[in-house]
């Protein structure tokens, strides 16, 4: 089997390379406001906050585990890429993860570290996957507490969330680890795959790679081809598909989610590359997932529909920023593997949609959603909640390989 050529930056136009570098710098500069100089969270430690549309911390909010973990991960990538001033957010985020987010009574990590007042306390696999990702990224920048956090979150994942018999993640428990539902979901498993691959990259421990492979074997190897290359989101405890399920309209919508097909396709290529590029059919599966999602979800005015029915008919046509960023990421990976003109056209079409619909050239950051006319909207999201998706779209597209992004981003933003 001929080894595909290693991706060279010359496969991208110089103007596109410069644009992505500038976008990454702009995002890292914009989201530095998440660490407000006068903001202190639970237990009196500095906190990281979600930002409003002008880039100011939103007052009166509990500190969100998703915000904390994704900022640690993103600013670790920024530090590795050479962007100045990333360390304070990494430091504060790590202090929060080992402080107010940590549940000292029952173990694990709290979804919200609130300054008084009620906050949800259920323990979710989704959030713990991001704690693992943050810990791995902190280890990549040699944070002194990274090994402690890695050990803590590994213990919780293996004790409570990882179902070794199924080779998949359980989703949710009460704060004291009492089970309260039989729900199983694709989303938590997808982000667990991402975190397991990062943990393998940083620690070299084969068990993380094996676990990621077992998740991919189920969702990409079995579920996707069985359902026309669309991956069902929701499952019963026995991992049969629950087609009737409809939960939170943002995080557990009914049907299938093409943005997750793009994410899983990129992760499948990352895993395949880490395994030495075996004859496994994963590149073909990644392409099938990607092309099916793009054909189903691309909207006439640009952007991608949020959800589909099981036959591919658009269910929720709302357009959010993150499916576009994930599509950028997988098309960049496909371009590194095979030089097809259609991939390059799709890559550019996605960046044009991002520039036209989502990138805020005036205030900074990206608008998270747009209405039918392509104007910024706030039906599901408040402010500009997240750097993670957009930053990865910029940086991962510039890395020379399909895997080991913590190595690949090094120096990408140096002047």
Does residue 260 carry a catalytic annotation? yes
SS (H, E, C) 183-223: CEEHHHHHHHHHHHHHHHHHHCCHHHHHHHHHHHHHHHHHH
Length of the chain, please? 415
- Residue pair 231/293 in contact (Cβ under 8 Å)? The answer is no
Tokens coding 357: 């619909």
CA dihedral 197, 202, 207, 211 (to 10 degrees): -10
Contacts of 181 (CB under 8 A, 6+ apart): 171, 172
CA distances for 338 relative to 238, 272, 332, 348, angstroms: 38, 15, 10, 16
Does residue 101 carry a catalytic annotation? no
- Residue tagged active-site, from 191, 234, 389, 406: 389
The DSSP call for residue 173 is: E
Tokens coding 106: 């029952």
- Residue pair 123/177 in contact (Cβ under 8 Å)? The answer is yes
- Residue tagged active-site, from 73, 79, 128, 260: 260
Angle (CA) 53-54-57 rounded to 5° is 85
Tokens coding 326: 């994930």
- Dist CA 253 CA 414 (whole Å): 40
Tell me which H or E stretch contains 370: strand 369-370
- Dist CA 24 CA 17 (whole Å): 11
Report, as residue numbers or ranges, the catalytic residues: 260, 389
């Amino acid at each position: 089997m001929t080894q595909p050529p290693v991706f060279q930056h010359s496969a991208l136009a110089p103007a596109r390379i410069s644009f992505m570098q500038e976008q990454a710098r702009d995002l890292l500069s914009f989201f530095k406001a998440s660490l407000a100089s006068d903001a202190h969270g639970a237990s009196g430690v500095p906190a990281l906050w979600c930002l409003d549309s002008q880039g100011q911390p939103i007052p009166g909010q509990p500190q969100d585990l998703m915000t904390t973990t994704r900022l640690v991960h993103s600013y670790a990538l920024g530090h590795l890429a050479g962007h100045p001033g990333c360390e304070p957010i990494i430091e504060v985020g790590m202090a929060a993860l080992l402080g107010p987010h940590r549940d000292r009574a029952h173990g694990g990590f709290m979804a919200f570290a609130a300054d008084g007042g009620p906050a949800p306390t259920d323990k979710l696999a989704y959030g713990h996957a991001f704690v693992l990702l943050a810990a791995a990224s902190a280890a990549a920048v040699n944070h002194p507490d990274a090994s402690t956090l890695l050990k803590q979150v590994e213990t919780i994942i293996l004790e409570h969330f990882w179902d070794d018999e199924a080779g998949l993640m359980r989703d949710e428990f009460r704060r004291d680890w009492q089970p309260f539902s039989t729900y199983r979901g694709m989303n938590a498993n997808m982000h667990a795959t991402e975190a397991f691959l990062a943990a393998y990259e940083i620690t070299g421990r084969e068990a993380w790679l094996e676990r990621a492979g077992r998740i991919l074997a189920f969702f990409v190897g079995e579920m996707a081809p069985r359902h026309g290359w669309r991956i069902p989101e929701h499952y019963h405890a026995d991992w049969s598909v629950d087609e009737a399920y409809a939960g939170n309209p943002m995080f557990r919508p009914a049907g299938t989610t093409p943005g997750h097909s793009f994410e899983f396709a990129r992760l499948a290529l990352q895993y395949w590359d880490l395994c030495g590029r075996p004859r496994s059919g994963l590149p073909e599966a990644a392409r099938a997932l990607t092309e099916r999602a793009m054909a189903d979800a691309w909207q006439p005015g640009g952007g991608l529909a949020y959800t589909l029915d099981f036959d591919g008919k658009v269910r929720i046509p709302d357009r959010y920023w993150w499916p576009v960023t994930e599509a950028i990421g997988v098309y960049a990976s496909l371009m590194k593997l095979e030089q097809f003109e259609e991939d390059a056209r799709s890559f550019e079409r996605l960046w044009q949609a991002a520039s036209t619909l989502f990138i805020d050239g005036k205030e900074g950051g990206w608008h998270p959603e747009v209405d039918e006319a392509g104007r910024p909207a706030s039906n599901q999201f408040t402010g500009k909640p997240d750097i993670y998706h957009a930053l990865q779209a910029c940086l991962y597209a510039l890395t020379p390989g399909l895997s080991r992004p913590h190595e690949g981003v090094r120096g990408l933003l140096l002047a």
